[in-house]
Each structure stands twice: as structure tokens, then as C-alpha cells.
Structure 1
Amino acid sequence: MKINLPIKDQGSSVASDAELISTTDLKGIITQANQAFVDISQYSRDELLNVNHNIVRHPDMPPEAFADLWETLKRDESWMGIVKNRSKDGGYYWVDAYVTSVYEGEAKVGYQSVRVAPSRERVERAEKLYASLRKGRIPFALRFRPGSTLRQFFWLALIFSLPMVLFSFLGGWSWLPQLLGWMGGIVISYGVALITTREVRQSAARARQLVNNPIMQYVYTGNMSDVGAVELAGVMVKAGLRTVLGRLDETAKQLASDACKSAETVAEVGNEICRQRSTLEQMATASEEMSHSIVEVAKTAESAADTTKKSNDAATAGRSVVGEAMDMINSMAGEVETAAETIRTLESESDAIGKILDVIREIAEQTNLLALNAAIEAARAGVHGRGFAVVADEVRTLADRTQRSTEEINQMIDKLQRRAHEAGRVMDEGSNQARVGIEQSSKVVDVLNEITGMITEISDLNQMVATAANQQSIVAQDISGNIHSVGDAAQTNARSAEAMTELSKDLAGLAENMRSVVRGFRI
């Protein structure tokens, strides 16, 4: 048996009007616990649920008590007992427990225990009994049970008649008449007892059919006779009624709480329906506006399709223009290349002219030198060389003029070469730019081809959009009609919610009335 420690000698009392209610499955695992049980056990609800009910078992409780509990429950009978439970802090509290089976249809699914505050006398008897059982002793009241009322009368008659017999023997009286009288008295007493105790015996027999548990009878009544059996049956019936009323009260309380929550929920649903109705009206308006917008979209899509077709035509024309421009650029590039080649030839020929001018410059220099020598020789010749000197002077003058002309021509050729070189460079750049232009034009043609393809796709999409927009316009009109229908249904639901709110209030009132009726019972 599980022993819960530590414990301390500090008790708590269950309120006189409190009912501790818990439900377990067939293995004793707690599935439900009311707030009163949670409070006095000092455990939280989460700590109690889904654990074995022996979490509150006190070590002072003997195993025999729980063995009696489970044997009784296995016979599908209700069990009643005074139980000492342990709270979370190690303290204790006594309860008067009544345990019954719980059924769903025909199947037993668990057990429910309803505990109330026990009387002081029953707690004292239970303490003595449990202390004896823990020590392995059985109390005298349980070991010596007087039995039925009839047997009690018989033994009483026998006991009270014995002194008379003894006195007769001691007094010297004739013992035979006394013995016969004594036996006759016993027989008469037994007959009288048989008659007078018949109803008590019948009641005790019926009581033992209801409950026949010596330990329970001792704890609850302290009387092991037929009267105690009848009293125990009354206590058992009273506990059963108390349990039923407790269940009804708990159910009514939960019903009232659920009814209030239901009323609040229904009221909230009604408010939400009103809000939804307002939203639906807005949606209906928006749907109608959307329908008009979709029509406009369809028209715009058709217009866009026409514009796209024109753009496609323009792109096609642009592609043709770019093609012609590419042809012209190709032609111009060829001509530029020819001009560049001509300029390069001119530059080469200018170089050749420069070389010829160098030869002429050298000849002029030599001629000038020869004229100078001739003048010197003419001067030596005197009168005979005077004519030769004049010729030499003319030759020198001609050489100087030739040299100056050569320099001028050389300068002109230098300028011509520089300009030809610059023209060649410009022509090369023009040729390169022409090639770049051709490449860019080719890319433009590719882009225009892509644009043409995309424009064609856009045109198809616009046509599809126009078709879809027309279909959506029809759908939007249907949605608008459905929204109006839903709005009407929401209005109907709002009225139903108001009616349900009133019904929930009535249900809460009925639950409170049922609790009042339950509280009106006095057990």
C-alpha cells in the first residue's frame, strides 16, 4: 500500500455544508475533482487530475478498510466509510465518504466519491477501530456480536432466571418444580420475544439485504444488534440520497453556469451576426462596385488589346526601319573603310614625295656648293672667269630658290601627312563606330523581336483578361445576390440567437429552481 509522507498532527475540518466530489476511472485514476476537494486537499487541480486517488491516502488508514472498499465496489455495491485523508502539507482531514459506481449505458466506467463532514462520535469510533486493525487486533464489539434481537431476549431470559434456580437449590426448595418453572419461563419468554421482535427481525433482515458490513455498522452506529443493522441501513439510504442530491446540486450548478455561459456566447454570437450582417451589406455594395469595375476592366482590356496591336505594328515597322538603317550603316562603313584605305595610300605616297624632296634638297645643297666653288675659281681666273662667275652666281641663286621651294613643299607635305594621319584615325574611329552601330542595331532588332513577341503575348493576355473579366462580372453579380441571401439568413440567425438567449436565461432559471428544490430536501 502506498504510504504518503511526511505527516503532521494538524487537522482541518470539512465545512458542514461542503461536499467533496471526485470521479476516477476503474483503476482509481482521478478524472474529475470539484473545487471543495481541491481546496481542502491543498493540491492544485492539475496535480490531482490523471493521478491515482491514493495521493490523499493517510498512513493511519489500515489496508483492511480499502480492501473492504474494493471488495464492495467489485460486487457493484455502494461503499460507505469514515476516512482519514492526508493533505498536501502533511496534515489530515476526516470525511464521511460514500462511493458508488459510474455507468455509461450498461458499462461501468469508473467510481464517484462524495464526502461530507463526519460526526465526532463516528470519527472517534473509526480512530479506535483503525488503531486496533493497524496493531492486528479486532475490537471486542466485532469479536462478540450479540446477533439477532431474538437471541438477545433468549440469553437475557436465561441469565435473569439463573439466580432463581440457584436460590431454590441453596434454600432447600424442591429443585424439580423450580427447574420446570425456570424452563417454562424461558420458553414463554422466548415465545413472547419471538412475537414482539418479529417486526424488528424482519426489518433487520431487509436492512442486511441492503447493507451487511460489520465494520461499517460498528463505525456508523456503535450497535452490532438488529437495531444497529436497521440504523446502518437508514444511514446508508440517507447517504445515498445525500449523494444523489449532491450530484443533482452539482449538476444544476454546472447547468446554471453552462446556461449563463451559453447565454453570453449566444449574445456574443448575436452581436457577431449583426456585425457580419453589416459586413455583408458592405460586401454586397463592394461586390456591386466590383462588378462595375470588372466591366470597366473588360473595356479597358479590350482597348489595351487594340493599343497593343498598334504597338505591335509600330514595333514591326521600327524593326524594318532599323534593318534599313543597318544596311545604310553597313554601306557607309564600307565607304569609310575605302576612304581610310585611300588616305593610308596618300599617306604612303606623301612619304615617298618626302624622300624625293630629300634628294632634291641634297642636290640643291651640292649645286650651291658647286656654285660657290665656281665663283672662287672665276675670281682666280680674273677677267677670263667673269662670265663664268655670273653663271655660277645664277646657279647659286637657283639652288637657293630650289632649296626654299623644297622646304615649303616639305612643310606642305608634313601638313598633308598630319592631316592624312588624322583623317585616317577619324576614319578608323568612324569604321569602329559603324561596327558598334551595326552591333547595337542588331541588338535593337533582337529587342524589337522580343518586344513584338511580348506584345503578341500581352495582346493574347488582354484578350483573356477581357474574357475573364466578363465572366467575373457575371460571377460578381451572382456573389452579390448570394451575399444578399446570406444577409437575409444572418438576420434570421440574429433573431434565432435572440430566442436562444432567452431560452438560455430560462434554462439558467430552471437550473437555479432545481438547486432550490435540492436544497429544500433535509436529510
Structure 2
Amino acid sequence: MSLAHWKLSNKLRLSTGVLVVAVLLGSLAAYVKMRQVSQLSESVAAARVPALTAVRDLRVAALASSSALKSYMLFGVDPTMASRYKQEFAASEAAGAEAIQHIESLRSQLDTLTGNAKIDLLLSEYRAFQQGQDRVEQMAVGQGSDATSKAFDLLQGEVADHDAAFEKTVSEIVQMQVAATDHDLRELVRVNHLQAVYMWLAIFFGGLVGSVIAELTTRRVVRSVTLVADRAHLIAEGDLTGEPMHLDANDEVTSLARSVNTMQDNLREMIRTMMDISSTINQDSKELTQSTSESFRRIKEQSMQTQQAAAAMQEMSISINEVSRHSQNAAENAKEAATTARHGGSIVKEMLTSMESIAGSVRNTATTVQRLGKESEQIIRIVNVIEEIAQKTNLLALNAAIEAARAGEQGRGFAVVAGEVRRLAESTRDATSEIAQMIQGIQVHTRGAVEAMDSGTATVNEGVETTTRAGEALQRIISMADQVDSMIAQIATASMQQAEAARQSSANLDTINRLGEESAAAIPATTGIVTSVETGARRLQEHIGRFRLAESRSYSSTLSPRQGMLGQAATAFGD
């Protein structure tokens, strides 16, 4: 799976992990080289120094014994001095023996450094020198002046030769030890240099890769969030004409973009449906207004004919036939009005269901945006962890620079690396601060989107309430229409009875007049109901008019002329 399809949290973990791995690799390289330095230091301290000390002690013992022997020979006539120098000679002999034991205990290390033959030569020459001194001592003690003279000759000749050879061997061994120590010191400097180079390379390349990954991740996130925020802003302003957003990724921002696309599609379809329903309500209101006006006109005409029938009984038959005809027409109109009102009630119920669905979609979208805000807080915590790591890295670099300053000339390269690490930590800290500011901006926009969606939900709830009242008004219209239908049926029955019995014409005319008055009293109530329906439809159109769909359609209000017609009808009934 490519990096573009990773989750946002995984991308941030990757960039952080690269930096951590770089630091660990640099630390591992430093540890390995420091182990080499420690081994070299231990080699110098544990092998070469004791070896040099042992050889030095043997040489010092040889010099001391030679000096004591010469003093003994020169001042041996004095018993006190002779005893003193003899003790010194014996002590020197004992020190030499102890030095030889020390060399034998270090023989494995000395053999590795100088060779077995060289150690054997050193010991053999010392023993020859020691044997020569023992012979000189034996010849010089109580043997007379001739023996003493021979002892001096032996001391200046053979013993001196053995001493010179011994000193030469000691010098060669010391030179070998010093040369090996110099080699170890040069190796120590080389290892320190490699340690600095390896650490610098690991930190540099790790920081470079981590910076590239962090930069790519930041650019992708900012670009995606900006696109989603712009689309949410347009939707909040009522613009639903945008094309679906397509993001080539599979992270949380892409999920948010899909949710916004779904929300826009649902809103567009619901607004379109509400526009159609609103247009239908307006048309039905117009037809209902016309039907009510027609009923008013016919009922008024019926009342006039009833009054004429009361004044002129001779025209009663003609008036009764006319009333019967008008009653049948009124019954048909009342049935049509009831049917239209029932149809309007069904439409209002559908509109109520659609608006409730809109409210649910807006709430779901608000929940998604709030979840994005919470995930942004998690991103800020991750960025804080990165910044804390950068601060600790800066502190480590400062400590390393201090240690390098203490090291002097040998720590200069390490000080340069420490400075580079400190600058890299400061750059990381600045980058994390910028990321935190961006995420905070995202949270501000997210909260604004949630507030806008809450406002939209409140508006939709008002529309649901208005639609509910419109449905109740239509139910009352249906009830009134049924009453009108029943009344007109009674008028028709009364007309038939008047045609059958002229004797009851006066009573029937009174009944017709009374029914006409009741119908006239019901017409203003019907007019008020229709006006309420038209007002609700106009408010619904005003809210819908805030949205722009892909197609160009105009839903301007056409209620004012019909309101004038209803006003005229109500005024006429009042008169």
C-alpha cells in the first residue's frame, strides 16, 4: 500500500520514527566506537604500562646492585660501611628477583608485544650480569689486594659488557612498548574520528528522510483540509452546485471529504424535493382559493334567490329548480375541495418526512466534523511529543558540545556535529510548532462548521414545525369541506321537498336561508385556513431560496395576488 493511502496518524508516526531511528543509529555507532576506545585504553593500561613498569624495575634493580657493589668494593675496609653496602646489594638482588617474577607473570602479554626471544634474552643477560656481580663480590671479600684488583678488572670488563648488553635489550624492549603505545593512540584517534563521522552521517540522513516525509505529509494534509473547508464554506452559504471532491488518499481527511460529498448530494436532493412540494402547495392553494370564491359567489346567489322567492311565491318553482341546480354544483365543488385538501395533506406529510431526513443528515455531518476535531487534538498531542523529543535532542547536543569543549582539539569535530544536531532539533521544534498552529486552525474551522450545521438543524426544525401546522390546517379544511358537502346535500333535499310540496315553501325558504347563512359563516374560516397554508408555503420558499442547485430554477413567491383575492372574498362576506 502506498504512502498516500496511509492513515494520517500512521504518517506522523513514520516521520517521528525515522527521526528516532536516526538518533538510535547514531547512538549505536557512538557506543560501538566507544567500546573500541575503551578496549584500546584497557590494552594500554592493563598490558603496556605494567610491562614497562616491570622492565623498568628490573633495570633499576640492576643499577642499584651495581652501585652497591662498587661502593662495597671502595669502602669495604670500613666494617660499618661494608655491612651497609652489602645489605644494599642484597636488597637490590632481591628487588631484581621480584622484578623477574613480575616479568614472568606478564610473560604472555610481553611475548605478544615484544616476542618470546627478546624476553628470554633480557632475562639471560640479567642473570649473566647478576652472576658476574656475584663473582666480583666473592673475589673482593677477604682475598687480598690482588683479588680485589682482579675483581675490579672483572667488574670493568665482563660485568660491564653484560650490563651494556642488558641495558641495550631493555632499551629495545622499551622502544617496542612505546611504539606499540603510539600505534594504539593513533588507532584511538582514528576510532574517535570514525565515531564522529558515523554519528553525523546517521543523524544527517535520518533527519533528511524524516524532514522529507514530514514535509510531504504536511503538504498533503493542508491541501486536503483546505479543499474540504472551502467546500463546507460554500455549502454553509447555500451553494450546492459543487462537483464531488476526489482525494487520492485513504486517511481521515478523505473520509471527511466523502461525508461532505454525501451531505451535499442529500441536501441537493432534499432541497429539490422541497421546492417541488412547495410549488405543488402553491398551485393547490390557488385552486382552493378559486374554488372557495366560486362557492361564495354561488351561495350569495342562492341567498338572493331565496329572498326573491320569499317576496314572490309565484316564482318559487323556478327559484327552487335554480337552487337545486346550484346545490348540485356546490356539492361537486365541495367534493373537489375535500379531495384537493386530502392530496395537500399527503404532500405535507411527505414534505415533513423529507425535512426530518434533512435534520438527521445534518446531525450526522455535525458528528463527523466533531470527530475530526477530536482526531485533530490527537495530532496535536503527537506533535507535542515530537517537539519534546526535539528539545531533548537539543539538550543532548548541548551536553555533547560541552564535553567536546572539554576534550580540546580532539573534540573539535564532535563539537561541530553537536552544533548540527542542535540546529536540526531547533528546526524540528519550529516545524512542529507550525503543524500545531495549522491543526488549531483546522479545529477553529471545524467548530465553525459545527455551529453552522447546528443553525441549519434549527432552521430545519422550524420548517418541520411549520409543515406540521400546515398539515393540521389542511385537516381542518377537509373537515369544513365535508360539512359544506353535507349542508349542500341538505339544500338539495330541501329543494326537492319544495318542488313536491308548495305548501311548505315558506318553511323550506327559511331553512334555505338559514343554511346559506351557515355556509357564509363557514367561508371566512376556510379563507383563514387557506391564508395560513399560503403563509407557511411562502416561508418555506424563503428558506429554500437560500440554496443554489446545479440547474437554474426560480421559485419566487406568487402569493400576493391570491392573498388579494382572498381578502376581497372575506370583505364581501363581511358586508
TM-score by length of 1: 0.32
TM-score by length of 2: 0.30
Q: Please tell me whether Structure 1 or Structure 2 has the larger radius of gyration of its CA atoms.
A: 1
Task: Identify the structure with the greater strand proportion.
Answer: 1
